[in-house]
């Protein structure tokens, strides 16, 4: 028996049950999952339907309050209709569990070569610590799915939409459509039964002191998609 199969059998309940941030028992999450799944019959088809809806119907927005627990809670992200990578992975994880599919959030440190100048300046870095994705239990193993960037956003940035076939890992492309460097995976932080909010918040305070100070003064705000579209025309 493989390690993943053993893990699923011994702790699988952790990845099917609701949690503080992955609140798959919230009525809005359950209704959302039911609508997204529609007439899909197989586990794989259900997972693919959920991925597509979370990716494209929830706008990616990095200009949020990273220290507000609501930005990490699946039901709050759904109500807002927008979120950053961690919030969107939380929503996909919760929707999958609501549909009876084992899922868990995971994290990686990535260097985003295509981020906007404003966001890079705010962060003081082009490295995104605790970049969020979701692992879904399909075909007897864990498969990565990354629903962060909605299709409209990737088109504005000149990037390839990140599709997912349910059989192979869906992680970000190393290059954009013009052959420029896009996403570079540096390290994996592991997977969890729920969002490790305190751990992520502590890391953000440590790695992004400039953005932390700015957020304590006033909300960030901004249109990340418009910034990316403008900068893409200049490259």
Digit-coded pLDDT (tens) for 130-161: 999 999 999 999 999 999 999 988 888 788 88
How many Cβ atoms from other residues are within 10 Å of residue 203's Cβ?
A: 16
pLDDT at 218 over 60: no
Q: How confident is the model at residue 229, as a pLDDT?
A: 47
- Of the two residues 51 and 182, the one the predictor is more confident about is 51
- Of the two residues 171 and 114, the one the predictor is more confident about is 171
Q: What architecture (CATH level 2) is domain 3-234?
A: Roll (3.10)
Q: How confident is the model at residue 49, as a pLDDT?
A: 98
- The pLDDT of 79-97, averaged and rounded, is 97
Q: How confident is the model at residue 37, as a pLDDT?
A: 97
Q: How confident is the model at residue 170, as a pLDDT?
A: 87
Q: Which of 135, 104, 79 is nearest to 16 (CA)?
A: 104
- Of the two residues 166 and 210, the one the predictor is more confident about is 166
How many Cβ atoms from other residues are within 10 Å of residue 212's Cβ?
A: 16
pLDDT at 206 over 90: yes
Q: How confident is the model at residue 205, as a pLDDT?
A: 92
Query: Chain-wide mean pLDDT for the chain?
Result: 85
pLDDT at 97 over 60: yes
> Residues with Cβ < 8 Å from 107, sequence gap 6 or more?
86, 130, 131, 132, 133, 188, 189, 190, 191, 192, 196, 200
> Residues with Cβ < 8 Å from 231, sequence gap 6 or more?
116, 117
pLDDT at 235 over 60: no
How many Cβ atoms from other residues are within 10 Å of residue 47's Cβ?
A: 26
Q: What is the domain partition of the chain in residue ranges? A: 3-234
- The pLDDT of 34-63, averaged and rounded, is 96
Tens-place pLDDT, residues 151-205: 988 888 788 888 999 999 988 765 566 666 577 889 999 999 999 999 999 999 9
pLDDT at 11 over 50: no
pLDDT at 221 over 70: no
> What percentage of residues in the chain have a pLDDT greater than 70?
81
Looking up tokens 């932390």 gives 212
Q: Work out the burial of residue 48: count CB atoms within 10 Å of its CB; fewer than 13 is exposed, 13-18 middle, 19 or more buried.
A: buried
- The pLDDT of 19-45, averaged and rounded, is 97
């Amino acid at each position: 028996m493989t390690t993943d199969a053993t893990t699923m059998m011994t702790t699988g309940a952790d990845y099917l049950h609701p949690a503080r941030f992955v609140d798959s028992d919230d009525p809005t999450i359950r209704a959302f999952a039911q609508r997204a799944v529609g007439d899909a019959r197989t586990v794989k088809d259900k997972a693919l339907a959920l991925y597509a809806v979370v990716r494209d119907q929830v706008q990616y927005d990095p200009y949020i309050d990273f220290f507000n627990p609501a930005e990490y809670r699946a039901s709050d992200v759904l109500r807002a209709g927008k979120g950053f990578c961690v919030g969107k992975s939380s929503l996909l994880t919760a929707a999958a569990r609501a549909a009876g599919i084992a899922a868990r959030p995971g994290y990686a440190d990535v260097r985003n070569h295509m981020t906007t100048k404003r966001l890079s300046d705010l962060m003081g870095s082009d490295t995104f610590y605790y970049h969020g994705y979701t692992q879904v239990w399909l075909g007897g193993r864990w498969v990565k799915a990354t629903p962060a960037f909605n299709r409209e956003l990737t088109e504005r940035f000149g990037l390839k939409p990140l599709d997912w076939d349910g059989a192979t890992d869906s992680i970000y492309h190393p290059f954009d459509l013009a052959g420029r460097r896009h996403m570079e995976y540096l390290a994996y932080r592991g997977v969890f039964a729920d969002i490790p909010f305190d751990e992520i918040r502590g890391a953000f305070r440590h790695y992004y002191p400039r953005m932390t100070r700015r957020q304590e003064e006033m909300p960030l705000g901004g249109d990340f998609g418009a910034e990316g579209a403008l900068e893409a025309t200049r490259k």
